[in-house]
Homo-oligomer: A and B are copies of this chain.
Amino acid sequence: MPRPPLVSDEELIDRLSTLFRNAGYEGASMARVAEVTGLGKSSLYHRFPGGKQQMAEEVTRHLQRTFADRVLSPATRLDLSVTVRLRRIAANLRSFYGAGMCACLLETLTVETISTRTSEGIARAAGAWTDTFAALSREAGIAPREAIARAQDAIARIEGALVLARATGDTRAFERALRSLPVALTGATTDDTRSKQ
């Protein structure tokens, strides 16, 4: 009769995700992994035969799912206006990133040397986020190509605000990025650089 695991798979990947997000790939040493999960190293290699690389891959997948569920899910609430949906997404982003004080895997995992599989996962996550924002922008009447540009620009502003917050401790740019999200994706703009491209 197989022995039940001390820590459920759900719990395990959840704690791993938190660690990888805040410490990055190289900062998340096996010692710290063992510490935050309460498991010995051998147990971890039993659950992740591929070692740290496999952990990074599964963390990437898990955070992408979590992001879709806990952040982007209002995007498909067709009963709400696009603006209201974006306001809800902004609120979700605020809590997901701890009001600007939490890092994003896009930033922490792209600095370090990681496997091709993991960086492909990161690229896919960025793509999914962009697609969601672009779809909302199109739904608000923005032309397809400009919708993609607006989506990328909005995400860039959010990510950059997180970088700035980590560097300076000032989270106001993050707050403004969230506040301006509905306008950035749906509103009129004085920025004529997009149409010229």
Listed in ascending order, the chain A residues whose CB lies under 8 Å from chain B are 24, 26-27, 103, 106-108, 110-113, 119, 122-123, 126-127, 149, 152-153, 155-164, 166-170, 172-173, 175-177, 179-180, 183-184, 187-194, 196-197
Contacts and interface: CB of A to CB of B under 8 A. Distances in A.
Contacts of A177: 153, 156
The number of times this chain is found in the oligomer is: 2
A187 B190 CA distance: 8
B26 A167 contact: no
A168 B112 contact: no
Given A149-B172, A187-B190, 8 more contacts: A24-B112, A27-B113, A106-B164, A106-B167, A119-B167, A123-B168, A126-B167, A156-B163
B110 A166 contact: yes
Contact of A149 (B119, B155, B167, B176): B176
B167 A27 contact: no
B159 A153 contact: no
A110 B126 CA distance: 21
B173 A152 contact: yes
Given A24-B111, A111-B107, A164-B155, A183 B190 contact: yes
Given A111-B27, A157-B160, A161-B160, A193 B176 contact: yes
